[in-house]
Structure 1
Amino acid sequence: MHIVDGALSNPVVIAGAVAAAGGIALGLRSLTMEKIPVAGVLSATFFVASLIHVPIGPSSVHLILNGLAGLILGWAAFPALFVGLVLQAVFFGFGGVTVLGINTFNIAMPAVLAGLICGPLLRRGGARAALWGGIGGALAIALTTLFVAVSLALSGTQFGVAAQLVFVAHLPVMLVEGLLTAAAVSLALKVRPDLFTALEPTP
C-alpha cells in the first residue's frame, strides 16, 4: 500500500514526514529492551508480507500485517514499520524516499489505533481474544486504506478515483489480514501467553 514518489503534493509529503517523525519518537521512547526482539520479528514479518505487490494506480495491494504489530508493540510499531519501509525503498524501490514519512504514518498510525482499540479487549484473554485480534488486524487495514485515500485526495482532485479504488481494492485484504492476525494471536496465546501482557503497549 505504498504511495510512490511524485504522487503527492508537497504539503502532504511534509505533513506526513513531521507526523511520522513524531510517531517514531514516541515509539522509540516505548521500545523497551523486552520489546526489541519482538519488534525485529514483526518488522521482518511486515517486510516479507509486503514484497508481493499488485499495482493499483499510484498505490498497490499487498499484505501488511500492521495490525499485529500494533496489537503487540503499540507506539513502538512506528520504528518497527519504519525500518521495514526503509529497507523496501532502498533495496526494491517500493514507495520512495520522499514519501517515506507519509507511508510510515499511513501504515503505522492505523496499527497504533488498532492496538489502542482492540488491545485491551484482547489482553483480557478468553475465547474471544483471537476474535479481537482478527478485528484489530482488519481494522488496521481499513484505517490504512482510509489514510492512503485521504493522502491522495488532499493532493488533488485528479486522485479522487484512485482514492476510492484504493479502498475498494483492499476489501479482500481486510478479510485476509483479519484471519491471519486472528490465527497469529491464537497461536501466540498458546505458545507465549504472556506476549500481549508482558509487552503491553505504553504511551
Structure 2
Amino acid sequence: MAHIPDGVLSAPVLIAGGVVALAGVGLGLRRLDDRLIPRAGILAAALFVGSLISVPVGPSSVHVLLSGLMGIMLGVAAFPAVLVMLLLQALLFGFGGLTTLGVNTVNIALPGVVCALLLGPAIRGTRHAATRAVLAGLAGALSVAGTGGLVALSLFLSSSEYTPVASILIATYVPLMIGEAFITAAIVAFLARVQPDALRPVAS
C-alpha cells in the first residue's frame, strides 16, 4: 500500500510531506532538460502501468515501484515524474488521494533518489557486469525498503493506532524487495550494454 488514501494521515504529516515533495519537485524540474524529459515520461508511464497490477501479499497488496531505477536514470528529476504519475492515478482510478499526494510522492521518490545518490556513481563507474548488477539490485531493494519504512512512519506519526498496521505493511514489502532487486538489476544490465548514457542523469 504505497498509495495512502485521503482521510488517513494527520495534518502535520500531510503538511510536512507536501513541503518535502514541493522541494523535491522544484529541484527535479530545474534538472530536467531535453534529454531527461522523454526518459522521465517513459519511466512514469511504466510505473503508471506497473502499479495498476497489484499482487496480494497477506492482508495488503504490493506492486512494482521502480523508484530505484528512476533514481538511477533521472536523479532528483524522479520527483516530478512520480508526482505526475500519482496525480493521474488519483484522478483517473481513485488510487491514493489528492490530500496525500505530497506524502505519497515523497514515500516513493525519495528512497529511490537517495539510493541512486549513494550507489549510482559505483553502478556507472564499475566495468564489471556482475558488480553493476548486484549494486543495481541493491538500489532497487533498498528503495522499496525505504518506501515501506516511510509509509509505516507516515501512519505511525499520524496515530499510534496505526502501529500494528504499519508493522504488517513493512513485512509485506519483503517479497517486493526481492522482485524489485531482480527487475532493477536486469534493466540496468541491459541498458549498460546497449545505451550506457541512459544510466547517467544529466545533472548527476
Normalised TM-score (structure 2): 0.93
SS at match of 2:7: coil
2:152 paired residue number: 149
1:105 paired residue number: 106
Q: Does the CA contact (< 8 Å) of 2:68 and 2:115 recur in 1? A: yes
**CA offset at residue 125 of structure 1?**
3.0
Whichever residue aligns with residue 8 of structure 2, its letter is: A
Distance in 2 (CA, whole Å) between partners of 1:196 and 1:99 is: 30
Q: Does the CA contact (< 8 Å) of 1:58 and 1:162 recur in 2? A: no
2:52 paired residue number: 51
Distance in 2 (CA, whole Å) between partners of 1:185 and 1:57 is: 30
Match of 2:180 among 177, 182, 200: 177
Say if 1:59 and 1:74 are closer, same or farther in 2 by CA, change over 3 A: farther
Deviations 1:58-113 (A, max 9, x none): 97421111110001111000001111101110111000111001000111111110
Distance in 2 (CA, whole Å) between partners of 1:147 and 1:58 is: 19
Whichever residue aligns with residue 117 of structure 1, its letter is: L
Q: Equivalences for 1:12-23 in 2 at 5 Å?
A: 12-23=13-24
Distance in 1 (CA, whole Å) between partners of 2:193 and 2:31 is: 26
1:38 paired residue number: 39
Distance in 2 (CA, whole Å) between partners of 1:33 and 1:115 is: 21
1:186 paired residue number: 189
Distance in 2 (CA, whole Å) between partners of 1:56 and 1:148 is: 16
Q: Does the CA contact (< 8 Å) of 1:81 and 1:104 recur in 2? A: yes
Deviations 1:134-179 (A, max 9, x none): 1111110000101111000001111001111111001000000000
SS at match of 2:125: coil
Q: Does the CA contact (< 8 Å) of 2:61 and 2:172 recur in 1? A: no
Q: How many residue pairs get matched?
A: 201
Say if 1:56 and 1:104 are closer, same or farther in 2 by CA, change over 3 A: farther
Q: Does the CA contact (< 8 Å) of 2:60 and 2:172 recur in 1? A: no
Identity of aligned pairs, percent?
Answer: 49
Say if 1:69 and 1:102 are closer, same or farther in 2 by CA, change over 3 A: same
Say if 1:2 and 1:63 are closer, same or farther in 2 by CA, change over 3 A: same
Q: Does the CA contact (< 8 Å) of 1:72 and 1:200 recur in 2? A: no
Distance in 1 (CA, whole Å) between partners of 2:61 and 2:163 is: 16
Whichever residue aligns with residue 187 of structure 2, its letter is: A
Runs of 4 or more, structure 1, over 4 Å off, are: 54-60
Normalised TM-score (structure 1): 0.94
Q: Does the CA contact (< 8 Å) of 1:56 and 1:166 recur in 2? A: no
Range moving further from structure 2, 62-71 or 123-132: 123-132
**Structure 1 gap ranges (5+):** none
